[in-house]
Structure 1
Amino acid sequence: MSRAATNLQIDSARLWGTIHETAQFGATKKGGVRRLTLSAEDKQVRDWFRKACEDAGLDVHVDALGSMFGLRKGRDMSKPPIGVGSHLDTQPTGGKYDGILGTLAGLELVRTLNDAGIETELPICICNWTNEEGSRFAPAMMASAAYVGDFTTDDILSRKDAEGVTVAQALDSIGYRGDAPVGRQKFSGFVELHIEQGPILEAEGKTIGVVDSGQGVLWYDGKIVGFESHAGSTPMPLRRDALATLSEIVLAMESIARKHGPKAVGTIGEAVIASPSRNVIPGEI
């Protein structure tokens, strides 16, 4: 009697090990990771990822925005590969699994196929997209957005961080501005494994879920202009307090999001008082 076929299993211990090995690049005291895109820590994990891909027999190339592609050949190289991946950068107080799980899962997939001696019909391409998080440069998902044509390469290269450093300068500083044109690497399909960033699965007692839609995102940058005056000597009716106005906007935004819930959300993630002082009414935010 022939033995019943079983699903091929990855080496979960190996995947777990790579996740924690890469977590050393930008590790924080509380067990998280601070690995901002195109930083020195990002270069470290990129170098690690390139070597790991090459050791697994992949051909690695980098496009003009620093996105990395590791190609495993298939029987039919006339067809575009199946893309698997995510990103290696993190938020300023990120975790060990956000983003990198999807990229390292692709690596583990290839390692498992190699161990089993399996040649796939289509090639497989593991991807690391540059600046998915958007914590250093805006917009988030900038390289993948340029890939699909939402932005030009030159536009993204000219974007600046809070210190005035452009994407082009940051790429050059870590040696990851590639020669391949953005969008040249085509895909037959794309698969991304991702740790849930919200509390829904845990709240519902579920282990895994399948994404069936994407969140539409609108970002707004604004300025509230009031009038700076002394906090101790300006009566309330004569104040033009920019921070108090921002508070009303925050509450209005929250009310609108709740009204259109449960799928609608609203967040104000950054607010900067110009020339702040505890004795001065905020005049500009």
Structure 2
Amino acid sequence: MNDWQRLGQRLDGERFWDDVEALSKIGALEPKGICRLALDEKDNQARLWLVEQGTSLGCTVHYDALGNVFLRLEGQDPSLAPLLIGSHLDSQPRAGAHDGALGVLAGLATLRTLVDEGITPRRPLEIVAWTNEEGARFAPGASGSSWFAGQREYTSIVEAVDSHGTRFGDALKDCLALLGAHGLDFRPDPFVPHAFLELHIEQGPILESLHKSVGVVSGIQGVNWYEITVEGQANHAGTTPRGARRDAFDAAHELITALKAAAYEQGDELRFTIGKFSLWPDSVNTIAQRATFTIDLRHPSQNVLESLDMRFRELAERQWRGCDVHLKVASRVAPVKFPESLLEVLRQSASSDCSDVPELVSGAFHDAIHLAHVCPTAMLFTPCRAGISHHPDEHIERDDAESATRVLAEAAGRLLN
């Protein structure tokens, strides 16, 4: 047996879980949960914690123009492209401790195993923590990975503004200064990895219902985000007859009914969500002059997303209850299918620990959806209780997380050599 084989079996599960618990304390909320919004004090503190771990293991630590942090373990041939493993450290405002963070920690555990065992892989290994995956503070999310993969321009990312009026670019400047003050190497430009692997909690109930610790992710649904504004006319609620009203709320209600009907024609695979809805002037006795709402639209087929995009635009071109509609595409990310060759590596790595490994399509988007545009990319899922995430009740079982991390390490061993 070569040194790099069965790398998952050599992984120190106790040390891995110690790291999970240590990171969960950064940004911890009472009585449970965490809050690490992108580029805030706690998110930057989590970065520095990761930097400390990498430095203690003798890694070279880099950061780039978007604040993405990389821990590099050199390989026998430094000229080879590195295997990249990771996820993100930022969270929703009231979140669980494992969404994103688990993927970074699993990569760290893999790297730690190589160092502890004195194994130098053929090609370098880099662990990455991507900036602003969640998009909770600065929308849209996945800023660091989308820029790295050439899917978004730097100039558009840094102009995003949070709810307090802070520019992404200003918060990023503070983060970069902090990383620079710790003597880290600045690597401004993206590179092309050999492959990218990401372990993530499922954020759904399937693996738990199947009593499986790990699942192979075959691809990720595409997602379109829309911002829709309906413009009517404010007037007195008590004196304006129905026929004389241009009520933005009534118009929005009818439009939403039509949008949902068009979406649901595509079957149960489609996901249609209105996450925000607001009225102006927001007064109890005034007819709404303006209604604004968002749509999160997801499906694994790009053809379906494009067809619905055309249908949504057609509906937005009409007047509803005498009101005009303005539709803006806030974000558009195409679905991806991960390469069969890399999926087979994950299947083989998982089969040593579990029989009949499930395969799933991710309903949530992840940094991997962008990395898939620049290198072979794939994901593993591990179950979370009742499928709950983005909430303090998010919970993973230690045995499940450890099993999935061993599968990741096993796959890494194969790809590194």
- Alignment match, 1:212: 218
CA change 1:74–1:101 in 2 (3 A) is same
State the match for 1:146 in structure 2: 147
TM-score with structure 2 setting the length: 0.63
Quote the Cα distance in structure 2 between the aligned partners of 1:259 and 1:202. 29
1:202-241 paired onto structure 2 within 5 Å: 202-241=208-247
CA contact (8 A) 1:227 1:240 kept: yes
Report matched runs for 1:34-113 at 5 Å.
34-113=35-114
In structure 1, what is the Cα distance between the partners aligned to 2:254 and 2:31? 34
* Residue from 181, 193, 200 that aligns with 2:188: 181
Which ranges of structure 1 fall in alignment gaps of 5 or more residues?
none
Deviations 1:147-185 (A, max 9, x none): 1112222222222223332221001233357742241x3
CA contact (8 A) 1:250 1:268 kept: no
CA distance in 1 between partners of 2:114 and 2:259 (Å): 49
Q: Write out per-residue CA displacement over residues 186-205 of structure 1, whole angstroms, 9 at most, x where no aligned residue.
A: 31001100001122323444
In structure 2, the CA distance between the partners of 1:91 and 1:261, relative to structure 1 (3 Å rule), is farther
SS in structure 2 opposite 1:281? coil
In structure 1, how many angstroms separate the alpha carbons of the residues matched to 2:81 and 2:75? 10
Matches of 1:272 and 1:176 in 2, distance apart?
38
SS in 2 for 1:128: strand
Q: Distance in 1 between matches of 2:214 and 2:242?
A: 53
Flag the 1:28–1:273 CA change in 2: closer, same or farther, 3 A: farther
Q: Verify: 1:24 aligned to 2:17, yes or no.
A: no
Give the SS at the match of 2:217: coil
- Corresponding residue for residue 197 of structure 1: 203
SS in 2 for 1:103: helix
Q: Work out whether residues 81 and 123 of structure 1, in 8 Å CA contact, stay in contact via their aligned partners in 2.
A: yes
Deviation of 1:64 after TM superposition, in Å, equals: 0.6
Q: CA deviation at 1:43?
A: 1.2
**Contact in 2 for aligned 1:64/1:177 (Cα 8 Å):** no
Aligned-residue CA RMSD in angstroms?
2.1
- Mean alpha-carbon deviation: is it higher for 216-225 or for 251-260? 251-260
> Given residue 261 of structure 2, which amino acid in structure 1 is its aligned partner?
S
- Structure 2, unpaired ranges of 5+: 181-185, 292-417
Identity %: 39
* Range moving further from structure 2, 103-112 or 237-246: 237-246
Q: Which one of 244, 268, 273 corresponds to residue 267 of structure 1? A: 273
Q: Which range is displaced more, 88-97 or 158-167?
A: 158-167
Secondary structure in 2 aligned to 1:194? strand
* Cα 1:147–1:118 shift into 2, 3 Å: same
What code does the residue aligned with 1:120 have?
P
* Distance in 1 of aligned mates of 2:188 and 2:259: 40
User: 2:304 is matched with which residue?
Assistant: none
Distance 2:19 2:282 in 1: 44
Aligned to 1:70, what secondary structure does the other structure show?
strand
SS state at 1:137 partner:
coil
Distance 1:165 1:80 in 2: 37
Q: Does 1:243 align with 2:243?
A: no
For structure 1, which segment, 225-234 or 264-273, has the greater mean C-alpha deviation from structure 2 after superposition? 225-234
Residue 187 of structure 2 aligns with an amino acid whose one-letter code is A
Q: Give SS of 2:22's match.
A: helix
User: Residue 102 and residue 228 in structure 1: after superposition, are their counterparts in 2 closer, same or farther (change >3 A)?
Assistant: same
Q: Give the secondary-structure state (helix, strand or coil) at the position aligned to 1:211.
A: strand
Q: Which amino acid aligns with 1:85?
A: G
Say if 2:280 is the partner of 1:279.
no
- Per-residue CA deviation, residues 99-133 of structure 1 (Å, 9 max, x unaligned), is 01000111111111212121111110000111111
Deviates more, 1:212-221 or 1:248-257: 248-257
For the residues of structure 2 that align with 1:237 and 1:15, how far apart are their CA atoms? Answer: 66
C-alpha separation in 2, matches of 1:92 and 1:249: 31
The structure carrying a bigger strand percent of its residues is 2
The answer to whether the 8 Å contact 1:146/1:182 transfers is no
Greater helix percent: which structure?
A: 2
Inter-partner Cα distance in structure 2 for 1:64 and 1:118 = 31
